[in-house]
Amino acid sequence: VGPEALLLWKSKSTFTSFGVFFLQMGWGDLGAFGEPSKETPNLDQMASEGMLFLDFYTANPLCSPSRAALLTGRLPVRNGFYTTNAHARNAYTPQDIVGGIPDSELLLPELLKKAGYINKIIGKWHLGHRPQFHPLKHGFDEWFGSPNCHFGPFDNRALPNIPVYRDWEMIGRYYEDFKIDLKTGEANLTQIYLQEALDFISKQQASQQPFFLYWAIDATHAPVYASKHFLGTSQRGLYGDAVREIDDSIGKILKHLQKLGISENTFVFFTSDNGAALISAPKEGGSNGRFLCGKQTTFEGGMREPAIAWWPGHIPAGGVSHQLGNVMDLFTTSLSLAGLQPPGDRQIDGIDLLPAILQGKLIDRPIFYYRGNEMMAVRVGLYKAHYWTWSNSWEEYSKGIDFCPGQNVSGVTTHTQEEHTTLPLLFHLGRDPGEKYPLSFASDEYQRAMERISVVVQQHKVTMVPGEPQLNVCDKAVMNWSPPGCEKLGKCLKPPKSDPKKCFWPH
Amino acid sequence: VGPEALLLWKSKSTFTSFGVFFLQMGWGDLGAFGEPSKETPNLDQMASEGMLFLDFYTANPLCSPSRAALLTGRLPVRNGFYTTNAHARNAYTPQDIVGGIPDSELLLPELLKKAGYINKIIGKWHLGHRPQFHPLKHGFDEWFGSPNCHFGPFDNRALPNIPVYRDWEMIGRYYEDFKIDLKTGEANLTQIYLQEALDFISKQQASQQPFFLYWAIDATHAPVYASKHFLGTSQRGLYGDAVREIDDSIGKILKHLQKLGISENTFVFFTSDNGAALISAPKEGGSNGRFLCGKQTTFEGGMREPAIAWWPGHIPAGGVSHQLGNVMDLFTTSLSLAGLQPPGDRQIDGIDLLPAILQGKLIDRPIFYYRGNEMMAVRVGLYKAHYWTWSNSWEEYSKGIDFCPGQNVSGVTTHTQEEHTTLPLLFHLGRDPGEKYPLSFASDEYQRAMERISVVVQQHKVTMVPGEPQLNVCDKAVMNWSPPGCEKLGKCLKPPKSDPKKCFWPH
């Protein structure tokens, strides 16, 4: 739920530190990607000093599965971050989710730790909130943030407010101890998260310690907020204010690296966990530029992400890459930078992007667009084939839930799940990035492209071994009633009796 | 029909030369404005060396009126480039149009000529093709190009092919003497137009002559073409190939100015005469990014244009301006640069943009969106009020003519002309540049904004004196049968008997 990412590495001479900014911003939210009011000078500068990825994707059009994919290098259907309760449904980690990241999954920080890295997550974890899923049990050394999004305020009876953790224990809850004024949109959370990043970097630099910083703050996720200094400063309203504050923070973090003299030892990557949430537009939703639909869908607006790689002295300034990339590649690329091999005992979907970043090579690889347990679409080269199409159900749509506001492409943005497996809908994303003009089934171009794509899909399906689905069972008893540390604060709440049920995923 | 503009001035020490690239490209066709495949390195560099205008408009969503507006500094409804045959219809100058630019209009080159400038138009004129409308009778000293678009091929019996002029006389016709291969998309016209520009600039530089170059080539207009060297080089297909060739040409022209040492004496402006023609998408149509609809409409996609000002040593590099601008401003700004006053005997709609360009000032001024004889909408600050909405008629739409493909905003992209004069549809273009979310009529924001807008509109309407409409009468006898010079070439055709009729304008 919400991406833009900062991955920060710092190196001990031979080590490269590593930062990922993993936020929720749409392609069209950055000036460098064409936002009409151009209010992201720092991200635009990051792009002009680094490399812009134009064909970069997330692994899922929703928060939790994307974040699990980034940290494991594996598709959610492999690492368990999906549901089989219904066909092709987006699932995530609300407070009553029973599952989370399995112990059997190897996370990037777990592997880096063995190579001597100190790892910190700032912001939302989103891989489960029960004790066994705690980020410090999965390789992180430090945590400042929350297990879920900042939804609320809740009443602490039917629903507890989301806790904020420092490392092992909670230090308060959103809306109670960490204020978010939904009326004015004011909250100083981004400033707190910024300071956490600056302090962490300073500390590691002082001790010559290589690090991995995962900056996964959720400021552009609804309910949108910004701190006082930024409120009302954007042409785009509150959402734009939040973007400006994030942009300012990222600028400060990059300048901090430069000031400390470690920018040439720190590989930084910015991207997003899903497309902008058009459902929240225009007040709290971002922009996917000219791409079709948004978050929750497997159209380009749901999964093509803004992406910038920055590593002064290594990445040529002002570069642009057409390499097909995926957030899962950050796993493999980071390991490569750290001189580590990816685990050999499991399928890793991420590839090492260094040849693309440092030598301008183009690596041939497909992009798979999953929604829950279904491969909805695949991209090979400039062609994208939809095997299934669905925006959302008529039932949800009739309640006003619209993932494609103002957009309606007949036979494409369907409100029933439409199967096209025998004759996929095919688009040429170069001529038609907005997915408005399916190629004629009878054309030579269609035949030629599908021949190539079919082989890729068949191989993918034949070798696919889905993981145990983690997002099937919900239970109010597992909510954030009494997180570790609640006793010290007098903030423990009494859970209801356990009553596990199949989760309901409408989309 | 089709804009991007190069305005080139070169100066004789105190003189500033002047270039306008006036083409047909959509906002979303340039990398600098967010085109996803980023294939315009030269225009992007022009932007990074100059100033990007984010809120720049044309005066009309169609070719001829926009071009008349640029050259006169006046709205088409004043300079006569509109029709009263039907309400709110786009009219232009097809071969059978009887009208053209009235002698009473003062064109930019006419005024510059008096100040010692040499003026050249390269490309399409579009202000009428009968003898009295010839560009050399309206201030230009040289012309290489055609009076109309390169539609065709025609049979020279029902319709003559469009002539190409050098100065006073035709030197051939499209498809006959200037090849355009509609099958392969190959034509070397852009290369010819490029060479014309380079030669003209060299000549003026050699004689220390201040100049005005109006580079109004029509390569991205359907039927789209590119020269052999560029065919197949773009991710975007033939349209992208044409864009790449134009981009390359503009890069060569700017480099030529630099090589000759006159770039600091030459003010150059790039913009477009209307939004991308989505009707021709995806094969021959461009992109308006995230803006609504395209050419022919008064939504942002029809009238907001990419715009870049370039003047090394004067305009700060990498600047971005939110000044509301209009192609008509190029008239007034050019006069200002030449040290001339705009004519005092008539209403001039263009403003002098130099304070915005050189001092970063923001001048408060409205933008009026006209379609034919109707003011459809107005922008004041970030608010845009639609007094009328119309995409096109159901009748045309049912024939497959769609100016908003894949876009449908209920109550906004209407297929009947809808009047909203008592309660205009209001959008906030900062939060909602795609015009998808009209503000609630009951909101305070609506009331406050409309109070301000109503004053502007009332004043505009009260003082509006429409000119004599020039685009009402059509007659096959006035077509390009026997243009001057046809005798020498043996290319004179026999016109049919005169039979003037009201032109039919479907949109």
In this predicted model, what pLDDT tens digit does every residue of B35-71 receive, in sequence order? 999 999 999 999 999 999 999 999 999 999 999 999 9
In the chain, the amino acid numbered B424 is P
Do B430 and A236 form a contact (C-beta atoms < 8 A)? yes
Q: What is the per-residue pLDDT for A482? A: 98
Considering only the C-alpha atoms of chain A, give the largest distance between any 2 of them, rounded to a whole number of Å: 70
Which residues 277-296 on chain A approach chain B with CB closer than 8 angstroms? 281-283, 287-290, 292
pLDDT, tens digit (0-9, with 9 covering 90-100), for B328-361: 999 999 999 999 999 999 999 999 999 999 999 9
Is A273 marked within a binding site? Answer: yes
- Give the torsion through C-alpha atoms of B395, B398, B400, B406, to 10 deg: 110
Chain Cα centroid distance, residue A381: 23
Chain Cα centroid distance, residue B38: 23
What three-state secondary structure class fits A192?
Answer: helix
For residue A407, give the nearest of B33, B407, B430 by CB distance.
Answer: B407
Do A74 and A330 form a contact (C-beta atoms < 8 A)? no
CB atoms inside a 10 Å sphere around CB A401? 15
Q: What is the per-residue pLDDT for B14? A: 53
Q: Do B290 and A292 touch (CB under 8 A)?
A: no
Whether the CB of A342 is below 8 Å from some CB of chain B: the reply is no
Confidence band, pLDDT 50/70/90 cuts, at residue B4: very low
Distance CA(B317)–CA(A216), nearest Å, equals 34
Distance CA(B52)–CA(B321), nearest Å, equals 6
What three-state secondary structure class fits B191?
Answer: helix
Chain Cα centroid distance, residue A34: 21
pTM exceeds cut of 0.90? yes
CA atoms within 13 A on the CB side of B194: 19
Distance CA(A34)–CA(A289), nearest Å, equals 7
Report the pLDDT averaged over residues B264-269: 96
| Spatial CB neighbours of B47, under 8 Å, sequence gap ≥ 6 | B30, B32, B308
Q: Do A34 and B290 touch (CB under 8 A)?
A: yes
Report the pLDDT averaged over residues B126-131: 97
- Structure-token pair, residue B315: 């305009």
Q: What is the per-residue pLDDT for B283? A: 87
Best of A48, A49, A235, A300 to disrupt the B interface (most B CBs within 10 Å) is A235
| Rounded (5°) CA angle A142-A145-A147 | 105
For residue A28, give the nearest of B287, B290, B437 by CB distance.
Answer: B290
Count Cβ–Cβ pairs < 8 Å, chain A vs chain B.
116
pLDDT, tens digit (0-9, with 9 covering 90-100), for B482-494: 999 999 999 999 9
Which residues 206-235 on chain A approach chain B with CB closer than 8 angstroms? 234-235
- The alpha-carbon gap from B238 to the nearest alpha carbon of chain A, in Å, equals 9
Distance CA(B493)–CA(B170), nearest Å, equals 13
Q: What is the per-residue pLDDT for B215? A: 97
Q: Do B292 and A406 touch (CB under 8 A)?
A: yes
Q: What is the per-residue pLDDT for A455? A: 98
Do A147 and A128 form a contact (C-beta atoms < 8 A)? yes
Beta bridge partners of B23: B272
Distance CA(A70)–CA(A54), nearest Å, equals 18
Say how many Å lie between the first and final Cα of chain B, rounded.
14
- Residue B325's φ and ψ, nearest 5 degrees, are -125, 165
| Spatial CB neighbours of A361, under 8 Å, sequence gap ≥ 6 | A323, A355
Nearest residue on chain B to A292, alpha-carbon basis: B406
Q: What is the per-residue pLDDT for A14? A: 53
Host H or E run for residue B425: strand B425-428
Q: What is the per-residue pLDDT for A35? A: 95
- Structure-token pair, residue B346: 């008539």
In the chain, the amino acid numbered B301 is G
| Spatial CB neighbours of A217, under 8 Å, sequence gap ≥ 6 | A23, A122, A123, A124, A145, A189, A190, A193, A246
Distance CA(A221)–CA(A483), nearest Å, equals 23
User: Exposed (0-12), middle (13-18) or buried (19+): which is B167, by Cβ within 10 Å?
Assistant: middle
Inform me whether the pLDDT recorded for B26 exceeds 80.
yes
CB atoms inside a 10 Å sphere around CB B239? 28
Whether the CB of A408 is below 8 Å from some CB of chain B: the reply is yes
Beta bridge partners of A121: A143, A214
For residue B433, give the nearest of A36, A382, A434 by CB distance.
Answer: A36
Is A161 marked within a binding site? Answer: no
Whether the CB of A411 is below 8 Å from some CB of chain B: the reply is no
Q: What is the ipTM of this complex?
A: 0.92
| Spatial CB neighbours of B478, under 8 Å, sequence gap ≥ 6 | B95, B96, B97, B98, B129, B130, B495, B498
Q: Which chain A residues are Cβ-neighbours of B290 within 8 angstroms? A: 28, 34, 36, 287-290
Chain Cα centroid distance, residue A222: 15
Distance CA(B130)–CA(B97), nearest Å, equals 9
Inter-helix orientation angle B63-72/B329-337, to 10°: 30
- The alpha-carbon gap from B120 to the nearest alpha carbon of chain A, in Å, equals 33
For residue B406, give the nearest of A28, A431, A434 by CB distance.
Answer: A434
Q: Which chain A residues are Cβ-neighbours of B234 within 8 angstroms? A: 430
User: Exposed (0-12), middle (13-18) or buried (19+): which is A471, by Cβ within 10 Å?
Assistant: buried
Show contacts of B435-438: CB within 8 Å, 24+ apart.
Answer: B435/B291, B435/B292, B435/B299, B435/B300, B435/B384, B435/B409, B436/A281, B436/A282, B436/A405, B436/A406, B436/B292, B436/B409, B436/B412, B437/A281, B437/A282, B437/A405, B438/B411, B438/B412
Q: What is the per-residue pLDDT for A283? A: 87
Nearest to B41 by CA among B32, B50, B54: B32
Best of B33, B45, B235 to disrupt the A interface (most A CBs within 10 Å) is B235
Inform me whether the pLDDT recorded for B10 exceeds 50.
no
Q: What is the per-residue pLDDT for B12? A: 41
- Structure-token pair, residue B35: 């085109």
- The alpha-carbon gap from B282 to the nearest alpha carbon of chain A, in Å, equals 6
Q: What is the per-residue pLDDT for B388? A: 98
Number of helices (H), then strands (E), belonging to chain B: the values are 12, 20
Q: Do A290 and B290 touch (CB under 8 A)?
A: yes
pLDDT along chain A (507 residues), means of 10: 42 71 94 95 97 97 97 98 98 98 98 96 97 98 97 96 98 98 97 98 95 95 96 97 98 98 96 95 92 98 98 94 98 96 97 96 97 98 98 96 96 98 98 97 98 98 97 98 98 98 98
Distance CA(B246)–CA(B242), nearest Å, equals 6
Is A274 marked within a binding site? Answer: yes
Distance CA(A162)–CA(A152), nearest Å, equals 8
Q: Do B236 and A382 touch (CB under 8 A)?
A: no
Q: What is the per-residue pLDDT for B498? A: 98
Active-site residue list of B: 63, 126
DSSP state, B419? E
In the chain, the amino acid numbered B474 is C
Distance CA(A65)–CA(A92), nearest Å, equals 7
Distance CA(A13)–CA(A11), nearest Å, equals 5
Inter-helix orientation angle A238-259/A189-206, to 10°: 10
Best of A308, A432, A435, A439 to disrupt the B interface (most B CBs within 10 Å) is A432
Using the structure block, give the residue that is written with the tokens 């994030």. A246
Distance CA(B262)–CA(B428), nearest Å, equals 42
For residue A320, give the nearest of B38, B281, B433 by CB distance.
Answer: B38
Q: Which chain A residues are Cβ-neighbours of B52 within 8 angstroms? A: 38
- Structure-token pair, residue A319: 């570069």
Distance CA(B76)–CA(B371), nearest Å, equals 9
DSSP state, B494? P
Inform me whether the pLDDT recorded for B11 exceeds 50.
no
In B207-290, alpha helices (H): 238-259
Nearest residue on chain B to A285, alpha-carbon basis: B431
pLDDT, tens digit (0-9, with 9 covering 90-100), for B424-471: 999 999 999 999 999 999 999 999 999 999 999 999 999 999 999 999
Q: Which chain B residues are Cβ-neighbours of A47 within 8 angstroms? A: none
DSSP state, B230? G
